[in-house]
Amino acid sequence: MADGKTSASVVAVDPERAAKERDAAARAMLQDGGVSPVGKAQLLKKGLAYAVPYTLKVVVADPKAMEKTTADVEKVLQTAFQVVDTLLNNFNENSEVSRINRMPVGEEHQMSAALKRVMACCQRVYNSSRGAFDPAVGPLVRELREAAREGRTLPAERINALLSKCTLNISFSIDLNRGTIVRKHADAMLDLGGVNKGYGVDYVVEHLNNLGYDDVFFEWGGDVRASGKNPSNQHWVVGIARPPALADIRTVVPQDKQSFIRVVCLNDEAIATSGDYENLVEGPGSKVYSSTFNPTSKSLLEPTETNIAQVSVKCYSCMYADALATAALLKNNPTAVRRMLDNWRYVRDTVTDYTTYSREGERVAKMFEIATEDKEMRAKRIRGSLPARVIIVGGGLAGCSAAIEAVNCGAQVILLEKEAKIGGNSAKATSGINAWGTRAQAKQGVMDGGKFFERDTHRSGKGGHCDPCLVKTLSVKSSDAVKWLSELGVPLTVLSQLGGASRKRCHRAPDNPDGTPLPIGFTIMKTLENHIINDLSHQVTVMTGIKVTGLESTSHARPDGVLVKHVTGVRLMQGDGQSRVLNAD
């Protein structure tokens, strides 16, 4: 499929088999991502907030600090729920948003910091989705729901009349620079139910991070955000449940009976899901509708077999993921979802992945990443391969990186270095890692892209000559390189703009606590060396003081006369002066 690698041939032939395979794979990944018995201590808190269940997990480095952690968690949770209720809750008649909905037309209101942040999100997603996500369409939704309950159809004239004025840009005048909002007509009404839970989730995780708790997982009503690692020092993982079939859409499926379509890892990310089965209302002719307004059909969203039934969006912000999932659901097909969400790849609140599901034929689509192999594809490839013996010559950044990736693919590795220790010239580097489309750039609002990166690289090439293919590879894989190093523990969070670059894209580590610079080359190489020696000692053998003198190979002639050589190993010389051969696959 154009929108993701989804085993399309299997789906077309046997949707039931595809569903079972996805569920089995997801459950296996959830089990792999679980907490091991030797993991760190964890504070677990569950409860209800405004009739919506929540789960909070905080990894505690020092079990003796559990009492203080509990007190901090209680305070942050209480404050978060209070902020959502008093500022963003439409069901609280005294909340800030309810007071705005009762304001006289033309009166200016100075928004709180929380509401200003929420309205900035609403405006961006409203514009990006071309009105699919609209927090001001509430009056029309209310009348459509009432008509459906009463078994009647709302006249088209009334729908068009409300649509002509009940949209965000027509109902309200919003000035984010001044922090003000003004109602423009008497029917203007804000409904922030599509983002207030997401804002609350962001609030909890961000405030706990500010208190020094780096490893946090918070879920509230299906909206999730995680930071750091779980007690087993792995990324937090969440499963995306399969939506109910149309025949079962009125039935609530118990959590232990749910099946999964996918599992995703959260690397300091959030995820939110919207589906056509939420907040259902019975309509005329025993039809059932969601409470979400569908601007295409000018009616409440009706669950179908063919259109998208569910969208999950993974993003840096849970509030944005919440709003974008709703907007994507209303796009009806994966192609339209891709067109919209591709524009959110390299902005401040970056979308890092999405999953769409359509009931007919068990169709699942995911975000396509250029030159990137996802976890599922890698696992499938490794399962179909025999274990390999790999020899890597050189223990610098390239050699150590190759060794780690070879192990990740199931290989046994011998790493040869001519010096007394690994590191090479990479340990002496002081500039940083150039990359575009990274989390650091997104957080600082740096607008960069492949064309700028590649243009700067070509201009900096000696004599103006560069290999276009190598430059393209360097550009496309640059963000992956920074992400890869960050996951190993290298803190590439500081941006600099060096000579020859038109954007801030050189990633460095923060200074030491005493203000002295942290040598980035040494830091990277020390991190990789420690990972190889401490974590991969059973898969990687490091041999130093080794001089490689040649390659062992076999050759054969093709029918066209071309001689093909296959490298089978290396010739080397050790410190004792003896020459020997190491074979490889």
Give yes or no for residue 35 having a pLDDT over 60: no
pLDDT at 36 over 50: no
As a whole number, mean pLDDT of residues 66-91 equals 95
How large is the average pLDDT for residues 428-455?
88
Q: In this structure, what token pair is assigned to residue 178?
A: 């001044």
460 pLDDT higher than 80: yes
Q: Considering the chain, what is the average pLDDT of its residues?
A: 88
> Average pLDDT, stretch 415-422?
90
| The architecture CATH gives domain 105-183 | Orthogonal Bundle (1.10)
Among 142-156, 379-393, 422-436, 482-496, name the one with the lowest average pLDDT: 379-393
**Residue-range domain boundaries for the chain:** 105-183, 375-426+520-584, 431-518
Q: Are strands 433-434 and 412-417 parallel, antiparallel or unpaired?
A: unpaired
What's the confidence (pLDDT) of residue 284? 78
pLDDT band at 31 (very low <50, low <70, confident <90, very high): low
What topology is assigned to 375-426+520-584 in CATH?
FAD/NAD(P)-binding domain (3.50.50)
- Residue 64 has what pLDDT? 86
Rg (CA), the chain: 28
Structure tokens at 66: 């559990």
Tell me what pLDDT residue 24 has: 66
Q: Using the predicted structure, report yes or no on whether residue 440 has a pLDDT greater than 60.
A: yes
Same-fold call for 105-183 versus 375-426+520-584: no
Which residue did the predictor score with more confidence, 573 or 183? 183
pLDDT recorded at residue 25: 60
User: Within 10 A of 336 (CB to CB), how many other CB atoms are there?
Assistant: 17
pLDDT digit string, tens, across residues 222-235: 999 999 999 988 88
Lowest-pLDDT range of 10-19, 73-82, 428-437: 10-19
Q: Which two tokens stand for residue 574?
A: 């050790």
Task: Name which of 239, 233, 217 is nearest 30 in CA terms.
Answer: 239
Q: Which residue has the higher pLDDT, 37 or 236?
A: 236
Higher model confidence: residue 207 or residue 362? 207
Residue with the bigger pLDDT between 384 and 344: it is: 344
Q: At what angle do helices 138-149 and 156-163 cross, to 10 degrees?
A: 160
CA separation (Å) from 16 to 251, 308, 363, 376? 21, 18, 11, 19
Mean pLDDT of 295-314: 92
The tokens of 156 are what?
């088209």
> Which are the contacts of 430, defined by CB distance < 8 A and separation ≥ 6?
519, 520, 521
Q: Once rounded to an integer, what is the mean pLDDT over residues 493-498? A: 92
Structure tokens that stand for 572 in this block: 């080397």
**Res. 2 pLDDT band, cuts 50 70 90:** very low
**Pair 275, 358: CB distance under 8 Å:** no
Is residue 263 over pLDDT 60? yes
Q: According to the model, what pLDDT value does residue 61 have?
A: 83
Of the pLDDT bands very low, low, confident and very high (cuts 50, 70, 90), residue 4 is: very low
CA distance 319 to 341: 15
Highest mean pLDDT among 142-146, 279-283, 309-313, 385-389: 309-313
> Residue 53: its pLDDT value, please?
93
Q: Give the DSSP H/E element, type plus range, for residue 557.
A: strand 547-557
Band of pLDDT at residue 444, cut at 50, 70 and 90: confident
Residues near 231 by beta carbon (within 8 Å), at least 6 away in sequence: 35, 36, 39, 40, 41, 42, 59, 215
Q: Please check the confidence at residue 542 and state whether its pLDDT lies above 90.
A: yes
Among residues 118, 168, 545, 484, the alpha carbon closest in space to that of 317 is found at 118
CA–CA separation, 168 and 166 (whole Å) = 7
* Model confidence band, residue 388 (pLDDT cutoffs 50, 70, 90): confident
Among candidate residues 110, 80, 311, the one with its CA nearest the CA of residue 199: 80
SS (H, E, C) 525-548: HHHHHHHHHHHCCCCEEEEECCEE
Contact 193, 318 (CB under 8 A): no
Q: What average pLDDT score do residues 277-294 get? A: 86
pLDDT tier at 371 (50, 70, 90 boundaries)?
Answer: low
The two structure tokens encoding residue 256? 């232990």
Yes or no: say if 289 and 301 are a contact pair by the CB < 8 Å rule.
yes
E-strand stretches of 276-388: 281-282, 288-289, 293-294, 299-300, 308-315, 351-358, 363-366
Backbone angles phi, psi at 421, to 5 degrees: -150, 160
Return the pLDDT at 29.
Answer: 55
Indicate if the pLDDT at residue 512 is higher than 90.
no
In the predicted structure, residue 218 carries a pLDDT above the cut 80: yes
Q: What is the predicted pLDDT for the residue at 436?
A: 92
pLDDT surpassing 90 at residue 318 = yes
Region of 259 on the Ramachandran plot (φ > 0 left; ψ -120 to 50 alpha; else beta): beta
266, amino acid identity: L
pLDDT tier at 151, thresholds 50, 70, 90: confident
Which amino acid would we find at residue 57? K
Residue-level pLDDT at 254: 75
What is the arithmetic mean of pLDDT over 50-68?
Answer: 90
For the entire predicted model, the pTM comes to 0.80
Helix (H/G/I), strand (E/B), else coil: 219: strand
Supply the angle between the helices 318-329 and 196-210 in degrees, to the nearest 10. Answer: 160
Q: For a pLDDT cut of 70, what percent of the chain falls above it?
A: 92
User: What pLDDT was estimated at residue 433?
Assistant: 92
**Spatial CA neighbour of 458 closest among 499, 504, 500, 429:** 500
